[in-house]
Amino acid sequence: MTVIDLRNGASEPVTLDEAKAWCRIERDDEDALIAQLIASAREAAEAETGLVLVRRGFRLALDPVPPDGWVEVPRVPLVSIDAVTAYDGAGQPAAIPLHEAIVERALGVEAIRLAPPVRSSAANGVEIDVTAGLAPGMVPATIIHAMRLVVAASYELRGVVDPALQPGLVPAAARALLARHRRVRL
């Protein structure tokens, strides 16, 4: 499965003003850098916890389609299925009615079950567009605090680590705060 982030989300959980206040930065000449550090901190938090912190769209591309039609969604929490497109043997797309893809939530797993007509018509794979992520204002305070710690550490390392490679350091305190939100699978 290939997961494509459609980047159509809302604002970051930590605002520029909050990050600047936390880091005690009063000038405005590095606002673009700090905004980039906030996005990097969010991406690090998402990677650590498995949660999508900013509600946005994703495209799940599957080829081949699982024979049982069970597709575990790697971006949680799953909010909705927005579109399903199956590709026939000639590679022609066909829009599938949304009722042919059912959201399944059981035992801490969020998945999509594709109906038999979808599986049979998807000789060259299927694309499922979903919306996933926490609603604005619903990011836990511990994750917000961890992001602030990562932004502060990254800001201090801005001369050593290229902004494109940030975060250069995730402090142990931030890792500890994020650990309690990590999804554990048995």
- Among 117, 132, 147, the domain-final residue is 132
Please report whether residue 1 resides in a domain: no
pLDDT tens per residue, range 155-181: 999 888 887 888 888 999 999 999 999
Quickly state the pLDDT bin for 103 (edges 50, 70, 90).
very high
Closest by CA position to 50, among listed 80, 14, 73, 76: 76
DSSP string, 82-96: EEEEEE-TT--EEEE
In whole angstroms, what is the distance from residue 46 CA to residue 182 CA? 9
Domain shared by 163 and 104, yes or no: no
Nearest-angstrom CA–CA distance, 46 and 7: 14
Whether 131 and 60 have beta carbons less than 8 Å apart is answered as no
- Are residues 71 and 124 located together in one domain of the fold? yes
Q: State pLDDT tens for residues 4-56.
A: 999 876 789 999 999 999 999 999 999 999 999 999 999 999 999 999 999 99
Q: Which of 78, 48, 77, 62 is nearest to 171 (CA)?
A: 48
- Number of domains comprising the chain: 2
DSSP for 2-31? EEEE-------SS-HHHHHHHHT---STTH
Model-level pTM? 0.88
Does residue 34 form part of some domain?
A: yes
